[in-house]
Structures are given as structure tokens and as C-alpha cells.
Chain A
């Protein structure tokens, strides 16, 4: 079920009515939320709920055993079991065809004529998100950093909580499970703020991503021609905005919906396009994933504890695997590799060419960072290396007779939207929407809110899927 759909409106109204009715005690309310979460997921593809159940049962059992087990080899066994099941799901459902294709290519390069039919495996929605979330629980249990969930219900709800089930934020057990122990009710201010966040999130998705930007990005990246430099930059900027609004929109909706239930979810985006460098970027973009990768991959790989070379290797491996997390294609690896390279270059610059960031050079640095990020988006969006390479050539005018595919208005529209996006991120980079809303008059907030809602209604989104569902 999509947040930007009529069925979700009905679903949410029913869930809220049941949640705030006096029919249930807290335990039954949690049961209702759990059942609602399965319905939310099952309305997409009912049989795939079984994967959620398997993941839940395996990690619950592993967590329970890890809580009482002292034998190191047995502890390792339970950890490995959890990792094998979750990563096994990912490997089979997400990377099965990719692995097969690459196996065939390697075999063919050795002169063996072998062809394999694609497995055409359906990708369970949000599998990368919920498997990472449940794995974090078992790993934290293994490291004895958290206590086990008090009940199976609390744990199952942690794995399946519908607002963040299919596209995050990827929440740690210590931040979410403990919230289920005591009855939660949103205060009236929390509830209304939740509705506001839901409005903002759907506006980002329906109006900004789908209505204003996706068409231009699709036209440019879908073009089979060598295109003009301006068109290539416009298409890339459009995708840059589209993916931000799409993903941040989902996270904002998730945070808003959870808040309406009195549950606090962490921020996932902190105005990333005004980042001052790439370390800053990864502290602002998809924060729940980057912190997951840091804690469960980069640090275990050695982090910065074993010298500079090892740190760079760990950094690069983390970013490459982070790229692969997004999709089963080499283009995603290149995307991750570019980010890894940027991070290494930034560390080298800080070591050998340090400079002080002032308000004067800050905006320029943010602009440079944003421009470099845009180059990486080309590899993220292009389905083929040929498309990506053609785009890069067009963007840097390495071919001169590119075809114009965009009309002037589309170019102006994208430049205006992305210009405003960049400026907003720059202005907001050290504050939050909540802080700003507290400073402005209720009238102004009400007018802005109405404008957003009105634009959502007239945009009439056709229920386009969120991009990150496929990851």
C-alpha cells in the first residue's frame, strides 16, 4: 500500500480510530497495529508476508538465545543463523538474477558456451529495509549492547511497524522496541504535527517528485540519443531532486504517521543538498542507512583503528556495498565507488590542504558538493553504462552535436525547483522544520499548509510507487 493512495487514507483512518478507541488495552492495540502492518504489506503481495514472519521468528529466536547463551561458539552460531537467513533472502530475491548474469558472463569469457534463463524472481517490497533492521537487533544482542525485546509481540511489531516497514527509516531496536513497552498516545500537538508532516511528505512525493521532476528525468534518461549538454544537466538535476523528494517524502510521511500514533521515529534526511563535503552529506542523507553501514560494516572492517590505508579500504568497501544495497547492478557499485572516492579525497584534503569553512566559502563548498553528487546520480539512474557514459560526455561537452530533447519551459521549471531546493537546504541546514514552524505565525503556517494540500489535490497523483521501494 502506498501512502499517496486512497486506500491508505481509509486504512489510516481505520487504524487511528481503533488505536484511539477504548475498545482495546495496550497489548491489544499493539496486536491491532501488528495485524494492520501485515494487511498493509499483504495488500501488495500476500504470500510474501511469509518472509516477514520467517525473518521475525528467526531473529526473535536468535535474540532470545543470545540473551542467555554464554558459550562464544554457540553465540556465534545464533548470530550466523540470523545473518544467513536475512542475507540469504537478500541474495536470493534481490541478487539472484544479478549473480546468475555475472556467472554466465564469467563462464563465457573462458570460452564455455553456457546460457541461463533469468530466474525472474519477484523482489519483495522493502526487503533491504526490514532485513537490515532485524539484523541490527541480532548484532546488537550479540554485542550485548541491548536487552532482548520483552515479548514476541513487541519484537514482531518492531520488525513490521507499517509506517517504516517498506522504505525506512531503518530504526534500531533500542530506539523503537522500548517505545512499545508503555502505552503511547500522541498529544494533540504531536497528532496535528504528524498530519502536517504527512502533508509535507505527500507534497514532496506527488507534487515535487512525480509532477514537476520525474517527467524530465525520464525523458532525458530514457532517450536513446546522444543529447545536448543542457538537457543532460537538466535531466540529472531533475533526477537529483526527484530522488530526494521521493525518498525524503516517504520518510517524512513515515515519521508523521508514527507521530500520530505517539511513536517517535528518527530523522532520515537533514537537508543533504547543502552539505559541506561528503562526510557531512552522509550525516544528512539517508541517515539511518549510513549509520547502519558505519556501525555494522565500516567499524567491523576496521574503521579508522588500523592505520590510514586500512581505513581507506574499509571506507571504499563500505560505500561499494552501500551502492550494491541500492540495487543489483554494476552501475550502483560505480555510484558507491564514486562516493567512496569522494570521501577518501576529502579526508586527504583535510589532512594535506586544510582550510577553514566560513559563511563566505561555505555556500560555494555546498554547491561543489551538490554538483559532485549530481555526477554520481547519473550512474544511479542510468540502467546501462552506455547511457551513463553518454550522459557524462554530454554534461562535460565531450561530444558537440547532442540533440535537444527538452523544451525551454521544462529546463526553466527544473532549474527553478532545484534552485529553490538548494537554497532551502542552505537556509535550513542548521535548523529544523519544527523550529521554523514555531517561529512563524499560525496563520502563515495554515496558509502554507492549505497551499500544499490544494496542490496535492490538483496534482492528482496516479499512485506512482516510491523509488526506494525497489531497494
Chain B
């Protein structure tokens, strides 16, 4: 047995295989992307500890992630916000965590996506369980997990093959995702349409942008729209009473210690907006929430500059529109003295 010879052969063949694999996926228009996983989120959550009150924290669902561009916000306000929003999530567990487990008394901007904000307080339901799992992970993460995350970042930033995602999207290229794409027969009917990645992480503090393809390729954008339709049809009725009660209790506590709470409603369009207006009418949900929370609030329908913004896949803004939306929203808030303006101080 010549083990050293075997090792050299293995190293050579592995290197060839891995390089070929990377090149193949790059030729398929894949680019390196950082996975927005719980470890990545926890780094931002950790920044909230001992954070001074002149800061801004963003939370909400994917609309807050896509539509608030951190560079533009920083350009307008002079302070880079901390992004704690999570895709497909209610903001309630994260806000609750900040209220209960920190002394932070600065500004918190909560994005209200009606279908998620008013969805549920049931711990097992996905819009709650997903953000709660991140809160729990942050609390329980080990030093080894922190090191693993830091070591994985340069790999994720530079290698396409390191693109396994926590969300397990249908265009992931890890072995499990590739095997999942093999379909034989129809033993169990496929209920959910395929869900592809349509965002790209452009900074280490979780700035997310919509991909160019989503804007230019209508057929691709339609695959995302199909997923929203699926969720809209599968979602149980909203639980306004429980969600409002939960949120308002935290809101009161946060305000009582000097916290500045702001609500925003980011744009939606097409059939999704029609559906939202039908199932969660503004008057009954948003207006009622704003009135009971008694905080500053910004609904895109109330401002001429936002009324004509169109979401390519009905729910999120293209990066250009997101930059515009962020800039204008920050200007509005500064004009209202709703947020601190470090630039002028």
C-alpha cells in the first residue's frame, strides 16, 4: 500500500474537481453570495448590546431588507442603521427580544408587511418560529459557532460553491438541493411552486439588493409572484387581536424607557397589493395599529413620490427604486424630526 501516492492523487483530483465545479456554476451565471443565515443575523443583533440612543435599528420582513438600502440611509442621516429584518417573518419576536433583553432606547423602525405582521403569535407558525429561532440562536450560540461563521465569510464571498442557504431555495447548488430537484413520478403532489434566490447580499452588515435578473426577466419575476400567490392562498386568516396586543405591550414598554418607535409600510404592487387591500384593509389594520401605538408612521400611499413605485415581483423594490425610497423616506423622517440626524449635529 502506498498511501502517500494515494493522498497525492486524491489531492490533485479533488482540486481539479472543485475548480471544475466552481467554474461550471459560474458559467451558469451564479455569483458568490453571502447566506443570510442565523449566524450572520446574530452578528448584527450583537451590535445592539450597549448601543447608544442615537442609533437606528431596522426590523420587519423582507420588504425592510430589500427596500431600505443602508448606504443611502447613512448618506442622508449620517448614521448607518442596524438591519435586523428577516425574510418571511413577523417582526414581533425580534422587537420583543430588543425590548426585553436590551436597554436600547434609541430609534426602532418596524416595517409592517400586513400579511406577516398581523399573521400570528403561535410559536410553531413559520412567520414566528423563523425569527424566534434567530433570537434563540443568538442567545445560545457557542464560541465555536462564532468562529465558524467568521471563517466561512471569506469563502462565501469568493466561492460560488459555498452557496448553501438556510432557506433551502430551489436554485441552491449544495448536494442536498441538487438531489431535491430530482423528481420521479407524482407520489406526493408538489404543493409549493419553486422558489428561487432573487436577492444578493452586498455588505457584511446585511444590505440586501434585488438581483438584476428579477427586474429584467419577467418570466423569472413571475416565478416569485407564483410563490406569493401560493403563500397568499395558503395563509390562515390574520390574528389581529393577538398580534396587536403583543406588539402594543412591547411598544409601551419601549416608549416608556425613552425609545423612539416608528412604523413604516413599504410598497407592494400588482395582485399582491390588491390581495392585501382586500384581506387586510388599511383602515382596519394599519390605521388602527398606528392610532393605538401612537407613534410616527409612514405609509407609502401617503406620499406622492412613492405612489408610483412598482415592485417587479409585486413585493419588493428594485435596487434603484429602493435607493430612491430609502433616500426620500429618510428625508421625510428628518423633516419630521422623527429620527436623529447625525449629519447636521
* A interface residue numbers (CB < 8 A to B): 1-2, 5-7, 10, 42-46, 188-189, 192-193, 195-196, 207, 210-212, 215, 404-409, 411-413, 437-438, 442-443, 445-447, 449-451, 453-455, 457-460, 462-463
Contacts and interface: CB of A to CB of B under 8 A. Distances in A.
A46, A193, A454, most chain B CB atoms within 10 A:
A454
B74 to A, nearest CB: 31
A463 B6 contact: no
A457 B161 contact: yes
Interface in B195-221: none
Nearest to B10: A449
Contact of B187 (A207, A404, A447): A404
A460 B183 contact: no
Contacts of A413: 179
A443 B1 CA distance: 10
A193 B3 CA distance: 7
Interface stretch (B128-136, B140-148, B251-259): B140-148
Interface string B4-19: 1111111111100110
Contact of A442 (B6, B145, B147): B6
20 contacts: A1-B144, A7-B144, A192-B6, A210-B176, A407-B183, A407-B184, A408-B187, A442-B6, A443-B5, A445-B3, A446-B9, A447-B13, A449-B7, A449-B9, A450-B10, A457-B18, A458-B21, A459-B174, A460-B174, A463-B145
Q: Chain B contact residues (Cβ within 8 angstroms of A): what range? A: 35 or more
Chain B contact residues, majority secondary structure = helix
B152 interface: yes
B176 A211 contact: yes
A46 B144 CA distance: 11
B236 interface: no
A450 B14 contact: yes
B182 interface: yes
The 4 closest A-B pairs by CB, nearest first: A446-B9, A450-B13, A449-B10, A460-B164
B142 A446 contact: no
Contact of B3 (A192, A211, A459, A463): A192
Contacts of A406: 187-188
Contact of B188 (A207, A215, A407, A442): A407
Contacts of B144: 1-2, 5, 7, 43-44
Contacts of B151: 6-7, 10
A405, A447, A460, most chain B CB atoms within 10 A:
A460
A7 B18 CA distance: 21
B5, B144, B164, B176, most chain A CB atoms within 10 A:
B144
Contacts of B173: 458
Interface string B142-170: 11110110011001000001111010000
Contacts of A446: 5-10, 13
A298 to B, nearest CB: 37
B39 to A, nearest CB: 9
B125 interface: no
Interface of B: 1-14, 17-18, 21, 142-145, 147-148, 151-152, 155, 161-164, 166, 173-176, 178-179, 182-185, 187-188
B28 to A, nearest CB: 14
A441 to B, nearest CB: 9
B222 to A, nearest CB: 25
B152 A6 contact: yes
Nearest to A192: B3
Given A192-B4, A195-B7, A447-B9, A463 B188 contact: no
A455 B144 CA distance: 24
A409 B182 CA distance: 7
Nearest to B15: A450
A404 B12 CA distance: 45
Nearest to A463: B148
A458 B2 CA distance: 27
A198 B254 CA distance: 51
B6 A445 contact: yes
A215, A408, A412, most chain B CB atoms within 10 A:
A408
Contacts of B166: 462
Contacts of B21: 454, 457-458
Given A2-B144, A407-B184, A446-B9, 16 more contacts: A1-B144, A6-B148, A192-B3, A196-B6, A406-B187, A408-B187, A412-B184, A442-B1, A442-B3, A445-B1, A446-B13, A449-B9, A450-B12, A453-B14, A458-B173, A460-B174
Nearest to B166: A462
A224 B174 CA distance: 29
B3 A196 contact: yes
Contacts of A215: 176
A450 B17 contact: yes
Contacts of B175: 207, 211, 455, 458-460
B340 to A, nearest CB: 38
Contact of B142 (A45, A454, A458): A45
A463 B35 CA distance: 14
A464 to B, nearest CB: 11
